Structures are given as C-alpha cells and as structure tokens.
Amino acid sequence: VAAASDLLITLTSGLLFGLSAWETARGWLRYRDRYRADCLIVVGLLAAILLVGPQAASAGSTAPAAGFLIYSLFLSQPYFLFRLVQRARPVPPVVLSLTLGSAIVGGAVAAVIPPGGSPTWTLGIAAYFLVTLSYAAWAFDREAARAAGVGARRLQYAAAGTWIHAVIAIVFGLEVLAPDAAPRSGRQRGSERHRRRG
C-alpha cells in the first residue's frame, strides 16, 4: 500500500508539473518576454527537480563540473522567482545580488565538497529556501491584497504555490533533525523488520 501510495503521489505530482511546464512553455513561445522566460525557468527547474532530482544529485556528487552546474541551477530558483516578484513589487537590488551570489557560491562549494546526503548541506539548503521563498510568498501576498481582478488571482496563486514550497523546505529540514519521523518506503520498512528478526 505504501509503495502504491508513493507511486501515485509521484505520478500525480509529475503530471501537474509537466502540464504547468508545458503551458508555461507555450506562453513563452507566443510572447517571448522576460517575464514569461522567468516563469519558464522557475517551473522548468521545479519539474526537473521532481523528475530527475535524485539522479542529478548523484551525478553532481561524482563530477565536480556537474556538481557546480546542477547545484548552481538548483540554488538559482529564488533569483528567478524574485525577478517575477519584481514585476509586481520592487525588490531591493541587494536581495537579487545575494540570491545570485548564493547560487554561484553554493555551486562552487558543491564542486569542491560534494553534498552526498550530508545533513549539514540539507539543513543549509532548507534554511536558504525557507527564507527566500517566505519572502517571495509574503511579497506576492502583499501585492495580491492591493490588486484586483485577474491580476489579484494570479498573485494569490503565486503566493499559495510559493508558501507550499516554503513548507516543503521546513519538512526537509525536520527530516534531518528527526530522521525517525521521516517517511520510509516499503522496502526500507521491510529491511528494518528483517534486521529486528535477525
């Protein structure tokens, strides 16, 4: 049952992200402006993380160049998200500079010190995304309250989606701090029962 549930969640999430990426790509092909390009990058990165995240992390831990590229792209999501926020609300230049710099520095560190499932890396990345995504979600919320009509609804959807990803960052951090509370697959539970019998 647990394996079927995991598979259903993965397929549903993949389908939703795939449809979102497809619609975003279609919008960019029709109107090739910076705003739609930023949307495409943000949604595309989320879809890529969902579909090939574990494989990419494994590749990044074995090859320094791949590690730099993969983790730089991964950590650059808040930068492109803030560019979307900037369309509705001014974002301090220092915030954009810090997020872009964090992506480059994080990629360089990953190339030298491969994460490899390190709790310190996971906690650091979770904290980074929690802070940046919470700020972006708060900004979307503020502008949604000031807007009206279709613009307000779009900002509300953006805020809701960003808050959800901030909550996911909290979950990742809690799984590191309390590994016994982390969800386990059916195979892991079976291994644990086997060890107890032995």
Please, what is the end-to-end C-alpha distance for the chain in angstroms? 25
Over residues 95-106, the mean pLDDT reads 92
3, pLDDT greater than 80: no
Average pLDDT along the chain: 77
pLDDT in tens, 127-161: 999 999 999 999 888 888 888 877 788 888 888 88
Over residues 36-58, the mean pLDDT reads 74
Nearest to 122 by CA among 59, 55, 176, 182: 176
Torsion angle in degrees (nearest 10) through CA of 101, 58, 129, 88: 70
pTM of the shown model = 0.71
Longest dimension (CA), the chain: 64
Q: What is the percent of the chain where pLDDT is above 90?
A: 12
Q: Is 59 exposed, middle or buried (0-12, 13-18, 19+ CB in 10 A)?
A: middle
Of residues 53 and 131, more confidently modeled: 131
pLDDT in tens, 156-191: 888 888 888 888 888 878 877 776 655 554 444 444
pLDDT value for 195: 45
pLDDT value for 196: 46
DSSP 58-117: HHHHH-HHHHHHHHHHHHTHHHHHHHHHHHHS---HHHHHHHHHHHHHHHHHHHHS--TT
Handedness of CA 71, 72, 75, 81 (dihedral sign): negative
pLDDT value for 56: 73
pLDDT value for 98: 93
CB neighbours (10 Å) of residue 143?
A: 19
Residue 143: CA count within 13 A, CB half-sphere: 22
pLDDT value for 9: 61
Distance of CA 134 to the CA centre of its chain: 13
Nearest to 26 by CA among 16, 14, 39: 39
Over residues 47-76, the mean pLDDT reads 78
